[in-house]
Chains A and B, each alone.
Chain A
Amino acid sequence: MNKDIISSLRPALVMTLLFALLLGIAYPLALTGVGQALFPVQANGSLVRENGKIIGSAVVGQAFTSERYFNTRPSAAGDGYDGLASSGSNLGPTSQALADRVKNDIARLSETSPGHPVPSDLVTTSASGLDPHISPEAALFQVARVARVRGIDPAAVRRLVEQSIDRPTLGFLGEPRVDVFKLNRRLDAFGAKPGA
């Protein structure tokens, strides 16, 4: 036993150092080099720039709460869509806090778009708190409000939504969804057109 321990010390110490160099330093640094060379946009967070300003990431969601925009889902990341504090609510199925929150959100949303059932993804928090998507139903639910606030034709807004629906990859990977950041940029661009 003692002999086994003594014979293990040198390999244990040296192997730890060697693998630390290979896997802890060389591997991530080599990949950083490869990533930065081959996919510089993605490797740096898929940032979207407009007029030299970084206005978002094409991958990560940002908060939309104003009536002029299609709203994102409620978020438990910090005060909402905090990129330094990703998190779900972790409220369980029998949580009073969850039921109260959902009840309030449904009441609020029903006021802005009366007569339509509220899609459930609009009143539930995502797992990351940074969900970039909403369901097509949740986008269509908001069409009337957005059109009214912006004073544009609801049919045109509806068309924008329909053009923004991403279908499941290969027909079965994931769900139909709408990227809210992309949709809202289209909305801004649409409003900026003369005569629109």
Chain B
Amino acid sequence: MTFQGWLLIAAFVGILLLLTKPMGQWLFALYEGRSTPLHRLLGPVETGFYRLSGIDPNEEQGWRRYAVHMLIFNVVLLLFTYGVLRLQGVLPLNPLGFDGTSADLAFNTAVSFTTNTNWQSYAGESTLSNLSQMLGLTIHNFLSAATGIALAFALFRGFARRETKTIGNFWADMTRVTLYLLFPLCMIYAVFLIANGVPQTLAGSVDVSTLEGVKQTLALGPVASQEAIKMLGTNGGGFFNANSAHPFENPNTLTNFVQMLSIFTISFGLTWTFGKAVGNPRQGWAILAAMLTIFLAGVTVTYWQEAAGNPILHQLGAGGGNMEGKEVRFGIAASALFSVVTTAASCGAVNAMHDSFTALGGMIPLLNIQLGEVVVGGVGAGIYGFLLFAILAVFVAGLMVGRTPEYVGKKIEAREVKLAVLAIAVLPLMILGLTAIASVTEAGLAGPLNKGPHGFSEILYAFTSAVGNNGSAFAGLTANTPFYNGLLGVAMWVGRFFIIIPMLAIAGGLAAKKYTPETAGSFPTTGVLWTGLLVGIVLIVGGLTFLPSLALGPIADHLAMMGGQLF
């Protein structure tokens, strides 16, 4: 570990903290449906969209209607992309002449992008046409992110509103977030990326005659437009197979730094928006403090392990940190930091190959996703996931002091706790259940590239990534098979919507409750004690379930690595 490395991490967190309040304020304006300076420019687009689709943006929806409209919209988007992928062979903008994808791959990919997972069973540059990337995928990058933020708004309203049946209008939330936040930011961001060397062209490829006189064909395409929203919307689906490690996606150290910032910035802002929505920004900072504590612990472990390197390679004479699967321009520190950011945030973009990390260095990304990606988390999904843990935390605190738990002015009762547990239980049930199936079936065992415990880690990581809607991979796994495409597709769908629906039910229930003012007997939810309790609940409830599976995978792998055992 180096001083520059820690400086990078400190600068990263420092800049994000400076951006938190401005971003939170902007999001708060959208949450309230207030006018922004951008309304002059894009307001007509917004009203035009509502008029053509017959939407009254002021119509308030109860949680059931909000959920149904969100779900139907997502199903339509899913079918749309499925169609585009299947038909890409006969659609235009296909300069490399790719055929339509197989049914199982189209299903997997459509689910993947609809659920903000962006798991990629395919290699972008050798499978998808420019039209598929633009029309089939980029649109999801925006709308799945906007859906996540809309859902977070709905839950915020549950906490903030009193004795009402409604939690907002899904169409208005989703449209406003897209038009007044994601779309304009991405326009600027993409131009910055192009200026730094990210291609943006409709050409498919270009032939190069190298200095050694060999022909090299470089895949090109509309990369920058997809790259911008891929990071900002915590989607993570790269234009190229190597994702943000590919020099065309992430050409230099500055783009790398900005990419990391852009993964976190909206989720940081949403913690502030939450605090503001419930009338006390300190509530938001308390949540952010708990998130940052777990995040920095993870960064420390991964950075330390990657910098320490692999003793097996040291013995062979390749000293220093672990550079297998890393780019020289990023080095150890920026690769380790990126891996923890992308898995904390449900993004799944990678600038280094997690599969080739040291055993414990690679365990942290895995564990981050298993915790439910509530450590900062994906846009919207992070904060609503974290609030489910906050409900459990006040419940546990209430048990300890023998009082009815309250959180930000709402009594937390049996219904909320049951629904929160239901949502949180989806992760271990799906991840461990499906990993178990894949570990004992022939089709499942055909997947891993590596042998021994690391092979098991590859399977575990795949299902963790899918259920957690992350999308990063221990990419050695051969996942483009009907078995994995099918199971992972189901895992992604359940992992997204089976958490969202109980969460919206909580939002609806909370909105109907009356305000319970804080008294001397209330458990304070802003101080250090609360932050500590949150960290504890996330680690114990979220993490402990997965410890046995981690022992079989990365921990066994670590012991083998230290003992010089090869597979």
Interface residues of A (CB under 8 A from B): 1, 4-5, 7-16, 18-20, 22-25, 27-28, 30-32, 34-36, 38-39, 42-47, 53-66, 69, 73, 77, 81-96, 98-99, 102-103, 106, 110, 117-121, 123-135, 168-169, 171-175, 177, 181, 184-185, 188
Contacts and interface: CB of A to CB of B under 8 A. Distances in A.
B356 A88 contact: yes
A1 B316 contact: no
A175 B194 contact: no
B246 A4 contact: no
Contacts of B205: 83-84
A5 B322 CA distance: 53
Nearest to B67: A4
B357 A117 contact: no
Interface stretch (B327-335, B372-380, B381-389, B538-546): B327-335
A55 B210 contact: yes
Nearest to B8: A172
Contacts of B234: none
Nearest to A66: B212
Interface stretch (B253-261, B437-445, B498-506): B253-261
Given A56-B208, A88-B325, 18 more contacts: A11-B171, A19-B142, A23-B178, A34-B191, A38-B195, A69-B212, A86-B123, A88-B355, A93-B357, A94-B557, A94-B565, A124-B318, A126-B326, A130-B246, A133-B327, A134-B328, A135-B328, A171-B7
B219 A36 contact: no
Given A14-B53, A63-B214, A168-B4, A106 B194 contact: no
A5 B178 contact: no
Among B69, B75, B183, B242, max chain A CB count under 10 A is at B242
A32 B256 contact: no
A169 B316 CA distance: 33
B302 interface: no
20 contacts: A12-B75, A13-B76, A18-B52, A39-B195, A43-B201, A46-B197, A55-B211, A62-B212, A63-B216, A69-B212, A85-B125, A88-B353, A88-B355, A92-B457, A93-B312, A95-B454, A126-B245, A127-B327, A127-B352, A128-B246
Contacts of A123: 318
A28 B138 contact: yes
A172 B199 contact: no
A31 B224 contact: yes
B353 A5 contact: no
A19 B143 contact: yes
B486 to A, nearest CB: 22
B266 interface: no
Contacts of B451: 95-96
A91 B476 contact: yes
Contact of B358 (A4, A82, A85, A93): A93
For chain B, give the interface size range. Answer: 35 or more
Contact of B211 (A12, A62, A98, A110): A62
B73 interface: yes
Among A30, A95, A117, max chain B CB count under 10 A is at A95
Interface string B402-429: 0000000000000000000000000000
Given A88-B475, A127-B242, A94 B454 contact: yes
Among B8, B208, B457, B474, max chain A CB count under 10 A is at B208
Contacts of A28: 134, 138, 200, 222, 225-226
Contacts of A34: 191, 194
A174 B80 contact: no
Interface string B308-323: 0110110011111111
Contacts of B309: 120
B301 interface: no
B72 interface: yes
B327 A90 contact: no
A62 B65 CA distance: 55
Nearest to A61: B247
B76 A103 contact: no
A36 B327 CA distance: 28
B54 A64 contact: no
B53 A120 contact: no
Contact of B313 (A15, A99, A110, A185): A99
Interface string B283-324: 000000000000000000000000001101100111111111
Which 5 A-B pairs give the minimum distances between C-beta atoms? A174-B253, A127-B245, A175-B331, A90-B476, A14-B53
Nearest to A4: B68
B450 interface: yes
Among B69, B197, B334, max chain A CB count under 10 A is at B197
Contacts of B357: 93
B450 A124 contact: no
B567 A94 contact: yes
A59 B251 contact: yes
Given A55-B210, A95-B454, A102 B318 contact: yes
A96 B460 CA distance: 21
B322 A93 contact: yes
Contacts of A15: 49, 53, 55, 73, 171, 175
